[in-house]
Amino acid sequence: MADNKFAAYICSGCGLGDKLDVGSLEKIAQKEGKMTVVKNHPFLCSASGVQMIKDDIANEGVTHLCIAACSRRAKTEAFNFPTAAVSRTNLREGVLWVVAEGSDHDEVRQEMAEDYVRMGCAEVKKMKLPEGNPNRDQAQNKRILVVGGGMSGMTAALAAAEAGYEAVLVEKTGALGGFAANLWKRVPFSSPYAEPQATGVEEMVAKVTGNTRIKLHLNTTVAETGGAPGRFTVKLARESGAVSDETVGAIVQASGFTPYDMAKLPELGGGQANVVDQAGLEALAKTANGGAIKRADGKIVTSVVFVQCAGQRDDTGTHLSYCSGHCCATSIKQAMYFKDANPDVDTVVMYTDLRVPGMGEDFYRSAQQKGVIFTKGKASKVTGGDSCKVEFSDLILDEQTSVDADLVVLATGQVANAGVNLDAWTEVNTAAEGGNEEAKVKRSGMKTISVLNLNYRQGPDMPQFKHGFADSHFICFPYETRRTGIYAAGPTRRPMDMLQATEDATGAAMKAIQAVENAAQGRAAHPRAWDLSFPSARLEGCTQCKRCTVECPFGAIDEDEKRFPVFNEQRCRRCGTCMGACPVRVISFENYSCDTVGSQIKAVNVPDEDEEKPRILILACENDAYPALDMAGVQRLSYSAYVRAIPVRCLGSVNTIWITDALNGGYDGVMMMGCKKGDDYQCHFVKGSEMAHYRMSKIGDTLKQMGIEPERVVTEEVAITDNARVAKLINDYAAQINDLGPSPMKGFG
């Protein structure tokens, strides 16, 4: 600490110097902020301004900088000083542009700027320069493990190998190819998208087996996975019982899908003679080998009906509620099997909405040219047997009718092979840990379907998002999962066809490469890319409450045998949800901790009650809410000058101590702004915003004990586009605080 030297640089450009008394800001930085060096510059982000700072770092030994200029989101390239700890004081977007114009507001504007300078100085005094994962030496492994040897898995392994990375490919059966190997042909993937094409599985298998960078394990499953990105240790179990260990840097899970079991569809003839699912038809087509397709009883099929959406898009809650995306094109392809062998075969595709993504429309047209009949209808009953009957309601002609056929094909959907459902797991595991013998048996049973067998505290597989798929957020983070360094590819992530699966697998391999490269440098990959900070815990203060291990959205924290948290640095995404959860505040990042924020809260000058100047603390998520605040400034939407905004990494990192500190210190209200939570969440850290809302719902009693009205603390969902709304939210809340009157805690702080 002796070598630390603190400096504040105040910019007077962008009109800051005209509206603010920069001289007095300098004095505050010096006297109250205790900055050794304080300088101002008329254009701080210019070459000369930046050089001034660089010179001070090089010549004066400055280690900690408080830059009082624009938002931390602006001029990031100019103000990039990798060897110094930097805090940014937002005088431009946060003060100048949002406080109403006019000399009436000069006083409050100056007070706001002075407080922000105090906060910036206080923050940087508590900061340390992040140096990355100190154990990065042990996270240097750059091999990629691919689980699943189907189309997705082989693509991922080849993509990694072609990019120069070693791949380990694990396949539980005795042969590569997966589901695709059982297909007669595939939906076309190249122009003119008119005819079924060869699957290309054999060529791909040859490429994989011939690639020296790919190590292949057939008849093998993953018995245990532990570690973190850059240092995963994986136990592989061969069918023969032999066990081998592999060390890898990242994992691609391409465990594929299982067709929805048609035995669950007795009303559609599931289980009856001459009613097959799409996989069953592929088998018949393979046997026919291009000739006339025969049924199981050997009869040549002269008429066939394809029933789309069988057990899919079901709103009764009995079957799959979603559309699997590939089945329309697959049925078109299969109808062509018949038409290509004999154009006189009657082929009817019965659909409610024909969905052919990609270039499928051309394929659909091609099938119509070949004479495949498309009937818009909903099948209500299928009777199998020597002559099958499909009863359906014709949705165009609005009538109940039926059609006879030799064979009926049910287009059932894709069910992800995503392993154990962690919600169910947690319940069983908790009971088992409590000594319940029945639960212990159930737990071992559950583990048999696990794909990765993670030894993580939160369970053996990746958390599932919707409908049992191992997705994280389809819109915002399509390639991410909720286990850092482990990427899902293909239909285990969301329903998809083969073309999408191969693209998906390539993307997953690229993400895996990012993960290992970042791990080797000890920094975060996503979404705080290249962040060198990581959490550390002062374990002597830890009460083993397990909140951090349970609440971490990414399962980054395990427990040792004494139930102390074990941080697996590279699994961490640096959101700080653990820091927000910790009741004894022992978890911190070098440059983001209970102290860095807490000292800012305390640095604010809270006026006395009779001055009638309330103070409102805003804790704003830096991903969405803080940019929205900045944008409000850019658009010159003014909001109350009584607010003091502090960006937080995620609302999940908000520790309740900050709220109580602020209220004890005489603040009149606290506003928290985070991302949308719930099923269609937008939180960058999945559960952070939800956790914050949950925690805040619990502090009402504490507030009442303090004699504070609960409505002084509010939590809002703010999207990045909410710039206009956020200004209104603040002003409405300020008016509400005004009505409530000064905080009863004022003057006691």
Partner 1 sequence: MSDLNTQAVARYKNNFLREVEERVEEGDMVKMCMQCGVCAGSCPLGPHWQHSPQKIFMMIRAGKREEVLTSDSMWMCTSCYNCIVRCPRQLPITHIMHGLANYAHRLGIAPKGQPTREFAKTFWNNLIKKGRVNELTLTLAHYFANGIGPGIQIALNMQKIGLGMVLAGRLNPMEIFGGHSVKDLNGFHAVLAKAKEIEDRKKGFSA
- Is 375 among the residues that bind partner 1 (CB under 8 A)? yes
Q: Does 401 bind partner 1 (CB under 8 A)?
A: yes
How many CB atoms are closer than 10 A to CB 243?
12
Q: Is 364 in the site for partner 1 (CB under 8 A)?
A: yes
Nearer to partner 1, 1 or 396 (CB): 396
Nearer to partner 1, 376 or 440 (CB): 376
Closest CA to 170 of 80, 86, 110, 251: 251
* Residue number with CB closer to partner 1 (163 or 373): 373
Identify which range of 50-58, 371-379, 523-531, 709-717 contacts partner 1 by CB under 8 A.
Answer: 371-379
Longest alpha-carbon distance in the chain? 96
**Mapping DSSP to helix (H, G, I), strand (E, B) and coil, where does residue 488 land?**
strand
| Contact window for partner 1 (CB under 8 A) among 3-11, 59-67, 373-381, 616-624 | 373-381
- Return the axis-axis angle of helices 278-288 and 327-341, rounded to nearest 10°: 30
Nearer to partner 1, 80 or 380 (CB): 380
User: Residues 199, 333: contact at Cβ < 8 Å?
Assistant: no
- Give the span between the Cα atoms of 273 and 147, in whole angstroms: 36
**Burial readout 650-665 (b: 16 or more C-beta within 10 A, e: otherwise):** bbbbbbbbbbbbbbbb
Q: Give 165 or 392: the residue with its C-beta nearer to partner 1.
A: 392
Q: Which is nearer to partner 1, 398 or 679 (CB)?
A: 398
Among 51, 80, 182, 369, binds partner 1 (CB under 8 A): 369
The interface region with partner 1, picked from 393-401, 682-690, 704-712, 733-741 by CB under 8 A, is 393-401
Stretch that binds partner 1, among 286-294, 389-397, 421-429, 725-733 (CB under 8 A): 389-397
To the nearest 10 degrees (0 to 180), the angle between helices 106-126 and 22-31 is 30
Shortest Å, Cβ 681 to partner 1 = 36
> Looking at 374, 534, 626, 642, which residue binds partner 1 (CB under 8 A)?
374
Binding of partner 1 at residue 354 (CB under 8 A)? yes
CB of 406 to partner 1, least distance (A): 15
Counting residues that bind partner 1 (by CB under 8 A) gives 14
Distance CA 666, CA 663 (A): 5
Nearer to partner 1, 58 or 397 (CB): 397
Burial of 22 (0-12, 13-18, 19+ CB in 10 A): buried
Closest distance between partner 1 and the C-beta of residue 397, in Å? Answer: 6
Q: Judged by CB under 8 A, which of 2, 47, 396, 475 binds partner 1?
A: 396
Residue 82 tokens, joined: 């990798």
From 120-128, 256-264, 361-369, 621-629, give the range in contact with partner 1 by CB under 8 A. Answer: 361-369
**Is position 362 an interface residue for partner 1 (rule: CB under 8 A)?**
no
Residue 568 and residue 136 in contact, taking contact as beta carbons nearer than 8 Å: no
What tokens were used for 718? Answer: 């703010």
Number of H helices, E strands in the chain: 20, 29
Q: Which residues contact 76 (CB under 8 A, 6 or more apart)?
A: none
Q: Which span (3-11, 126-134, 396-404, 615-623) binds partner 1, by CB under 8 A?
A: 396-404
Which of residues 376, 378, 447, 613 is near partner 1 by CB under 8 A? Answer: 376
Q: Which is nearer to partner 1, 356 or 616 (CB)?
A: 356
Q: How far is the CB of 526 from partner 1 (least distance, A)?
A: 41
Q: Does residue 342 bind partner 1 (CB under 8 A)?
A: no
**343 interacts with partner 1 by CB under 8 A:** no
Three state DSSP letters for 338-386: HHHHCCCCEEEEEECCCCCCCCHHHHHHHHHHCCCEEEEEEEEEEECCC
**How is residue 435 written in tokens?**
């000594």
Site for partner 1 in 73-112 (CB under 8 A): none
Q: Determine which residue in the list 213, 365, 378, 447 makes contact with partner 1, applying CB under 8 A.
A: 365
DSSP summary character for residue 607: -
Alpha helices in 210-326 (DSSP H): 278-288
Rounded to a whole number of angstroms, the minimum distance from the CB of residue 372 to partner 1 is 8
Q: Does 368 bind partner 1 (CB under 8 A)?
A: yes
Rounded Cα distance, 278 and 284, in Å: 10
User: Two tokens at 158?
Assistant: 């080849």
Interface segment toward partner 1; rule CB under 8 A; list 113-121, 374-382, 414-422, 510-518:
374-382
Select the span of 236-244, 392-400, 418-426, 726-734 touching partner 1 (CB under 8 A).
392-400
Tell me whether residue 378 or residue 447 sits nearer to partner 1 (CB atom): 378
Per-residue DSSP letters for 491-509? Answer: GGTS---HHHHHHHHHHHH
Question: What pairing do the DSSP bridges indicate for beta strands 6-11 and 64-69?
Answer: parallel
Binding region for partner 1 (CB under 8 A) out of 294-302, 395-403, 568-576, 656-664:
395-403
Measured from the CB of residue 404, what is the shortest distance to partner 1 in angstroms?
11
Q: Which residue from 261, 256, 314 is spatially nearest to 497, judged by alpha carbons?
A: 256
Of positions 57, 373, 439, 719, contacts partner 1 by CB under 8 A:
373
Residue 308 lies near partner 1 (rule: CB under 8 A): no
Evaluated on CA atoms 510, 515, 516, 518, the torsion sign reads positive
For 472-495, the DSSP string reads: SBTTTBTT--SSTTEEE-GGGTS-
Is residue 175 a contact residue for partner 1 (CB under 8 A)? Answer: no
CB 82 within 8 A of CB 1: no
Query: Is the dihedral angle over the CA atoms 679, 680, 684, 689 positive or is it negative?
Result: negative
Binding site for partner 1 (CB under 8 A): 354, 364-365, 368-369, 371, 373-376, 394, 396-397, 401
